[in-house]
Structure 1
Amino acid sequence: MKLLGKILIFAVAVLAALPMQAAPKGAVDYTQYVNPWVGTGGHGHVFLGANVPNGLVQLGPTEPTRGWDWCSGYHYSDNVLVGFSHMHLSGTGIGDLGDITLLPVKSMEQDSVYFTHQEETVRPGYYAIDLKGADVKVELTATKRAGFHRYTFAGKQGFIKFNLKHGIGWDALSSCKLVPVGDDMVVGFRKSMGWAKNQQVYFAAKFNTKVRFVGCEDNIFTLEIADVSKPVLVKVGLSAVSEKNAELNLKAEIPAWDFDGAVRNATKAWNKALGKIQIQTADATARRIFYTAMYHSMVAPSVFSDVNGEYRGADYKVHKADFTNYTTFSLWDTYRAKMPLMTLIHPDLAADVAKTFMNIYREQGKLPVWHLVGNETDCMVGNPGVVVLADLVLKGFVKDKEAAYQALKQSSLKEDRGLALYNQYGYIPFDLEPTYEAVAKHLEYALADAGVAKVAKLLGHQEDYEYFQKRAESYKRLFDPADCFLKGVDSKGNFRTPFNPFHAIHRQDDYTEGNAWQYNWLVPQDVHGLVSLFPSEKAFTVKLDSLFIVSGDMGADASPDISGLIGQYAHGNEPSHHIIYMYNYVGQPWKAADRIRETLSTMYKDDFDGLSGNEDVGQMSAWYIISSMGLYQVEPEGGRFIFGSPIWDSAKLDLGNGKTFEIVAHNNSTANKYIQSCRLNGRKYTKSYIDYADIVKGGRLEFVMGAKPSKFGTAKKDRP
């Protein structure tokens, strides 16, 4: 397709994303600023369709899986649909789900249909497509646990295919069932194996007209619709527990046949969530990027308990909770920015996430690593669940801190995923670790240990504090003073030779989705300790400067996740996300401002290919959200937010409980990117960071911006 054609299609898509109905008088309709197409091209892997914040249901179009870029089930380059699935992932590097797929068609022979993007309309909570090849217009909306379909047929007959065979990516059907209940309802289940090895999804689908079961071939069930002269409505409830609970969820969340009302409710839910941060700016494009990032950051974690409190636990048994249980925890990615953002603007969610983690610990014997539909996938390295729970404990979201500490401690003392070697040697010898990635694993375990140490100290466990603090500082064993790189060490204590800091063999090297240049800074828990290993602070700064300008061959087998490069800084993957802010620790915040502004303006676009890497369930967007306000939590646990370079005239955060925190940037512009001075609640403030506790009290943080670097935050007493 020629460039002009792409531009015209994108313009149509943006116009189509405008709301169908106006927001209430006097209210801001934030959904008009969201462009759901962002990240549907390139390697963004985002979900496209209808959902509500943190819902179990992500109801949207599903295409055949044709490769890595179809992890969400949809890629902008494709034009074939197998149907509209009720569950999708957003921004992951592995494909799964795609459960309970419906496809309305004009004949029994159709199992897929071609489409064009000009036929699609999408905005938060609503998706529509005019399937001319099937003689039907499809409209979709959703609640947390149910999907709502409206089919308007152009012909005189119509069928609905319930495709229980199809899954996305690694998902493979184990067993399924569909049973008619009367003449206007079907119930059943779909069980499958994939990234999550034991997936169970039960459904109950209710119709506003009579339907007749006419056959099943290859686990694709066909229903004939009795009357297509008026719009056909289908309500589908989901549950991980039972068909009965699926019907219970459906009745509770979509009691009426009011499709337009359901759309309004979804729009209202999104406006409430998007309005948690109110920004002021004259830059319309940047505003769209920001609220699109807000939208993407709230696709998950996903509700994973039914309206009666029941849920399927990590032990695959049915449990009942007095809070909302969640799943879809891409923790290796999201502990860095998305989870800290959650603690600022979603305190109720943060409290429920902490309770969910504790339940997972009781059910599987350790805190989550990467949890999907109640299954532990053990995906990625380190102990990211430990990081997140420690942060939640230190920020006051956990009542029973002692129980949480035991979960943190016991999860850290297990002997799976390289931990046995880490416990024995104090590092992970690369010659003894059969699954490679020894350096990445060690660094991730060490930063998690820092959180355990902090909680131990908080609770007065001095001996434990000293033990875990020593482990948190064990990264120093990997530092080679000869070239100032963190590198692999074998069981005899020798550094890896030969050594190439650019080398990045995917899944067969010392690093995870990265190289030595990118992992040399993965010590966010002890930046000053890392600096002290260098010959001087100047030497550290020179090395950090070099990161953004060096170039080298990473090799033909390098991970595709290493993307969004500025020199060897890789913004398209998470281990790099804190690095820019390290300049504040050595008294050079103006260098951070330069690189932050560069990253905000070049790595995020209002376009199909608008992300520099996988969205990773909200982390890529969360970096933009927090950094664009001038903040970032570098140290994973505890809540010290480092100042960067705010791009908004003002940003007001709704902290809950009637409290707000406003960040104002006076004299702000593209050129005026350097902080000159700062006031907190009207008083002069000289530090280049702010504590979480000071933010959540509520108040007003004011920056004065200028075109030249200043001495603000450079004195040692004012550095983080």
Structure 2
Amino acid sequence: MKKILTPLLLTVAVAANAQENVLQYVKPITGTMKMGHTYPGATVPFGAVQLSPETDTIPYEMDGKYNKDVYKYCAGYQYEDKTIVGFSHTHFSGTGHADLGDFLIMPTTGPLQLNPGTADHPETGYRSTFSHANEVAEAGYYKVKLDEPDVLAELTATSRVGFHQYTFNGKEPAHIILDMMSNIYNYENKNVWTYIRVENDSTITGYRQTNGWARTRTVYFAMTFSKPFKSYGHQNYANNVYRGFWRKFDQTHNFPEMAGRQIRAWFDFNTTPGEQVKIKLAISPVSTTGALNNLNTEAPGWDFNKVKGDAQALWIKELNKIRIQSPSKEEKENFYTAMYHAFINPTTYMDVDGNYRGLDMNVHNTNGYTNYTTFSLWDTYRALHPFFNLIQPARNADMVRSMVAHFEQSAQHMLPVWSHYANENWCMIGYHSVSVIADAIMKGNAPFDAARALDACVTTARHRSYDGLGYYMDNGYIPEDKQGASVSKVLEYAYDDWCIAQVAKKLNRQDLYEEFIKRSQNYKNVYDAGTGFMRPRLSDGSFKKDFDPLQTHDQGFIEGNAWNYSLYVPQYPAEMIEMMGGKKQFAQHLDSLFTMELPDKYFAETEDITRDGIIGNYVHGNEPSHHVAYLYNHTGQPWKTQDRIRMILKKMYHPGPDGLGGNDDCGQMSAWYIFSSLGFYPMCPGADQYELGSPAVDKATLQLENGKTFTVDVKNQSDKNVYVQKVLLNGKEWKKLTISHGDIMNGGVITFVMGAKPKDYTK
């Protein structure tokens, strides 16, 4: 027996070593304070379900005015709160806008209360106090002790199923509340209609239609309990229960159908001390039948620990696609938490049978690929999707397929701008699906119809009625007196047009190449040589007067000012630098950006302009600046890129509730951290080059989907040795400041030799 077990144990040890348990370094609580807008609950990589606690319910409007507090709760959870309202099944991760929060469940004991109460007086409702000392947040698992009902709540998930486990004390009557009113964004008025059907004594189905950020969103659910409930009921808070024959019944108690805009239902149980009541709730974009099928397929049993183990095994598999070495526990926590956040969005949007509801509100089938939603493209085109092209190429190709399907279902014939749940929110500017598609095609990750994708890009870019595009096409700029944020739009359109030109050239569409390469030069039309800044122009061609390059609002910009946006020409860095006075003057501009001190007046009134995400006037918390530190490479001063990168890594990221210097924005902030820690960054997606920086790890091994590995090996690494002295690629000295995508995908080793003093290793 001993001879048999020895090789068996060796096999297990080898397998464990091959898939290191890096979950210990993942801290989902990171970013849950201030503006990080992440959530601590349970999800699987790119899962449709995000099962997480809500710590408050904030109305979108108060006294007829926008309530700024709603911005705090984009993810439903704020670390500084003292109470939990319940656990809902859908959440955004790190966004600057709110929605979702579907199907809130809350276990309670004692006399039934059907209102949530308030944070100041939780005893007036089903809300409960909690302590972070009794809270555990891991990848794929969440646990918290609810003080008032004395219930231990545990959560895990599959892709489409949220799995709850509640341990009751057994001393009082036990209830499970299903709150169909609760949501994130607009608590009182978001629901269009909700419906609950009691199928039997342990299974519930239904749906919810909402009009929040997404105007027409319908989510179906199927919910089952591990033991039969003894009774149930509901209360309608809008007095609009569907009439007709239903009024002949007592609809509030044990009636099998419930409908209305604002419904809360409850289910009563007898429990013994220490007894666990388990709940599985599956969601579907199509039907309750689809939700039941999702539930039975993904979570057929009641073994909570097995589902938890399966969820965490998925995370271990994905996180081990990059294995780093570092003597710093904080570095490992930063890195793997960033990996975790990067692999949450976009989210799966289809049933297990491939069916999903499209933008046209019809049911479609993917016929083999995974359909995704939650495309925060103004953020994620910059680093997240390039990261996927490197580490998750198959998924990214499916994301492109999802974007093209969105285009074909769109009445406007537009690629997605900011979309989720079969809705286009039209949030932010540009048409950055184009960048994602171009980056995939130019890097050889295009197992889809590239010509069809290019046609979608071109049609989108010619849409004259979209956000000033008609002015842009006619004039080469957008008049600020006709369209706000005009400079930002021109610069981002010009970049997207360059992306289209690259794909057109690759696919031998010379006519399209000439059209869009010309459009890509439009950035020049908003540059004012007199001030040295990009500046808004008016309908008569003149530059706008009363220009303040430090101000964002009413100055032609969005989420950035002229100091930052004047550097946004990633497609033509050399031309931009020459236009702005040459390398020396441009480097001085960069120096000033990082070292100036902004007066308090620029932080006064808007929640997205705070000192948390800013170094000098460099705004890391907003994405238009994410490439800026790498521009020093183009001024002949690469050591300044290296110094700035390491400074930003230290100042903007740490493992803790307040560990993000701004919204994570569906993984973009995290993707910046990952790339920059590895020592290279995609300054211009759509090109196949990465800018080299200063790696912050001792070693990293990238497990590529093509079966090869690419290793970053760093010599003399330390917090003081931030300057690159020498670079070798596969043992040969590398004099370039860039590395190509092909160089990485071919596998091999890049070696950085570090030191404490600046050096231009290219000479």
Bin the TM-score by the shorter chain: over 0.9
SS at match of 1:583: helix
2:280 maps to: 235
> What is the aligned-residue identity percentage?
41
Instruction: Tell me if 1:444 matches 2:463.
Output: no
2:217 maps to: 199
1:531 maps to: 577
- C-alpha contact (below 8 Å) 1:40/1:74 kept by paired residues: yes
Match of 2:525 among 477, 484, 494: 477
The separation in 1 between residues aligned to 2:537 and 2:181, in whole angstroms, is: 47
- C-alpha contact (below 8 Å) 2:92/2:98 kept by paired residues: yes
User: Where do 1:303-702 residues align within 5 Å?
Assistant: 303-321=348-366, 322-364=368-410, 365-398=413-446, 399-415=448-464, 416-433=466-483, 436-505=484-553, 508-553=554-599, 554=602, 556-558=604-606, 560-561=608-609, 563=611, 564-702=613-751
Cα shift at 1:227? 4.3
1:429-488 CA distance string (max 9 Å, x none): 10111xx11111111111101100101111112222121111111101111111210010
The separation in 2 between residues aligned to 1:521 and 1:444, in whole angstroms, is: 12
- C-alpha contact (below 8 Å) 1:487/1:510 kept by paired residues: yes
Cα shift at 1:116? 2.0
The separation in 2 between residues aligned to 1:309 and 1:513, in whole angstroms, is: 38
The separation in 2 between residues aligned to 1:23 and 1:492, in whole angstroms, is: 71
Return the letter of the residue paired with 1:662.
T
SS at match of 1:424: helix
The range that moved more, 421-430 or 675-684, is: 675-684
User: Where do 1:23-422 residues align within 5 Å?
Assistant: 25-26=16-17, 27-66=19-58, 67=69, 68-107=71-110, 108-109=112-113, 110-156=125-171, 157-170=173-186, 172-211=190-229, 212-218=231-237, 219-228=263-272, 230-321=275-366, 322-364=368-410, 365-398=413-446, 399-415=448-464, 416-422=466-472
- C-alpha contact (below 8 Å) 1:562/1:570 kept by paired residues: no
Cα shift at 1:562? 5.2
The separation in 2 between residues aligned to 1:576 and 1:663, in whole angstroms, is: 26
- C-alpha contact (below 8 Å) 2:170/2:271 kept by paired residues: no
Cα shift at 1:25? 4.2
1:3-22 CA distance string (max 9 Å, x none): xxxxxxxxxxxxxxxxxxx9
- C-alpha contact (below 8 Å) 1:210/1:227 kept by paired residues: no
- C-alpha contact (below 8 Å) 1:513/1:562 kept by paired residues: no
SS at match of 1:548: helix
The range that moved more, 460-469 or 269-278, is: 460-469
| Change beyond 3 A, Cα 1:24–1:461 | closer
1:308-360 CA distance string (max 9 Å, x none): 00011111211001211000111101111111111111111111111111101
The separation in 2 between residues aligned to 1:509 and 1:191, in whole angstroms, is: 39
1:371-421 CA distance string (max 9 Å, x none): 112211010011111111111121222232111110111111102111111
Cα shift at 1:537? 2.1
- C-alpha contact (below 8 Å) 2:724/2:758 kept by paired residues: yes
1:64-106 CA distance string (max 9 Å, x none): 2341111100001112222100001111111110001111111
- C-alpha contact (below 8 Å) 1:514/1:562 kept by paired residues: no
Return the letter of the residue paired with 2:301.
A
The separation in 2 between residues aligned to 1:289 and 1:53, in whole angstroms, is: 18
- C-alpha contact (below 8 Å) 1:381/1:441 kept by paired residues: yes
Return the letter of the residue paired with 1:130.
K
Cα shift at 1:559? 5.3
The separation in 1 between residues aligned to 2:385 and 2:542, in whole angstroms, is: 37
Calculate the TM-score normalised by the size of structure 1: 0.94
The separation in 1 between residues aligned to 2:425 and 2:523, in whole angstroms, is: 26
The range that moved more, 210-219 or 631-640, is: 210-219
Cα shift at 1:556? 3.1
The range that moved more, 353-362 or 102-111, is: 102-111
- C-alpha contact (below 8 Å) 2:488/2:556 kept by paired residues: yes
Once superposed, what is the RMSD of the aligned Cα atoms? 1.6
| Change beyond 3 A, Cα 1:526–1:558 | farther
Calculate the TM-score normalised by the size of structure 2: 0.88
Cα shift at 1:226? 4.4
- C-alpha contact (below 8 Å) 2:547/2:555 kept by paired residues: no
| Change beyond 3 A, Cα 1:151–1:179 | same
- C-alpha contact (below 8 Å) 2:55/2:85 kept by paired residues: yes
- C-alpha contact (below 8 Å) 1:210/1:226 kept by paired residues: no
2:64 maps to: none
SS at match of 2:595: coil
The separation in 2 between residues aligned to 1:380 and 1:279, in whole angstroms, is: 35
The separation in 1 between residues aligned to 2:416 and 2:294, in whole angstroms, is: 26
Cα shift at 1:499? 1.1
Cα shift at 1:135? 2.5
The separation in 2 between residues aligned to 1:117 and 1:217, in whole angstroms, is: 34
| Change beyond 3 A, Cα 1:113–1:217 | farther
The separation in 1 between residues aligned to 2:475 and 2:603, in whole angstroms, is: 31
1:588-613 CA distance string (max 9 Å, x none): 11000111111011111122111111
Cα shift at 1:636? 2.1
1:166-206 CA distance string (max 9 Å, x none): 11024611111111111110000111011111111100011
SS at match of 1:663: strand
- C-alpha contact (below 8 Å) 1:561/1:614 kept by paired residues: no
> Which segments of 5 or more consecutive residues in structure 1 lack a partner in the other structure?
1-21, 716-720
Instruction: Tell me if 1:703 matches 2:747.
Output: no
The separation in 1 between residues aligned to 2:682 and 2:321, in whole angstroms, is: 19
Cα shift at 1:558? 4.9
- C-alpha contact (below 8 Å) 2:181/2:264 kept by paired residues: yes
1:262-316 CA distance string (max 9 Å, x none): 1110110111111111000101111111111111111111000110000111112
Return the letter of the residue paired with 1:158.
A
1:9-66 CA distance string (max 9 Å, x none): xxxxxxxxxxxxx997434211101111111112111011011110010001012234
SS at match of 1:432: coil
- C-alpha contact (below 8 Å) 1:518/1:576 kept by paired residues: yes
Return the letter of the residue paired with 1:99.
D
Return the letter of the residue paired with 2:501.
A
The separation in 1 between residues aligned to 2:582 and 2:631, in whole angstroms, is: 15
1:641-688 CA distance string (max 9 Å, x none): 100000111111111132111111111111211111111122221111
